[in-house]
Copies of this chain bind each other. A is one copy, B any other.
Amino acid sequence: MKFYDMALAPSPRRVRMFIAEKGIEIETVQVDLGGGEQLEPAFAKLNPWCTVPVLELDDGTCISEAIACCRYLEAAYPEPPLMGVTPAEQGVIAMWEHRVEWDGFIAGAEILRNSAKRLRGRALTGATSFDQIPELAERGKKRIAALLEMLDTRFGESEYLAGDAFTVADITALIAIDFVRRQKLEIPADRPHVKRWHDLVSARPSASA
């Protein structure tokens, strides 16, 4: 198995952290996103959507999309469980994970990709060029503010995002928040429960994987 990664990008970090939590080792290939390697035919054969992460299995099967890579790894390496065991756990974790992906990851990408000069014409990932929409960057900031308000309520009553245990939902939330922190949107002082949880999860060895 090979893991196609890019050290600075948020999406592959989700899988990198998941792999570290599982305690497994996978051969890793860095993809030069800045140089456009993901758009070249050799990479597009692995993933027609031209994104990282990708897991290439030994039989040649390729799995892209961060949550799908995690789903494969969870089934192949069940311990420790990061996506729940009982049906209710699985559903609740998937709910939180999906929600922070929409409200955090998509909003974070809206901010970055619609404002950074180097990403002109690259407002969405993939082979099709899309112009930037500056209003979308502003909307993304408003979405992140709403997300942090919601998360502060949640972390005031729950140790981790989906309940008492660390799960893939915490991975997605941590990396979404770190993604927007790199865009100089720090966790505001009036969100102490988010800060408490962020310190807790950032202290895990997997967070620096």
Q: Which residues of chain A have a CB within 8 Å of any CB of chain B?
A: 48-49, 55, 57, 59, 61, 63-65, 67-69, 71-73, 75-76, 86-88, 90-92, 94-95, 97-99, 106, 123-124, 126, 128, 130-131, 133, 135-136, 139, 142-143, 146, 150
- Assuming A98-B68, A130-B139, A143-B124, is B87 touching A75 (CB within 8 A)? yes
Instruction: Specify the chain B residue showing the minimal Cβ separation from A149.
Output: B128
Query: This chain: how many copies in the complex?
Result: 2
Ordered nearest first, which 6 A-B pairs have the shortest CB separation?
A72-B91, A75-B87, A68-B94, A68-B95, A76-B87, A63-B91
The answer to whether A95 touches B133, judged by C-beta atoms less than 8 angstroms apart, is: no
The answer to whether A92 touches B63, judged by C-beta atoms less than 8 angstroms apart, is: yes
The answer to whether B139 touches A63, judged by C-beta atoms less than 8 angstroms apart, is: no
A110 to chain B: closest CB distance in Å? 10
Find chain B residues with CB under 8 A from A63 CB.
Answer: 88, 91-92, 94-95
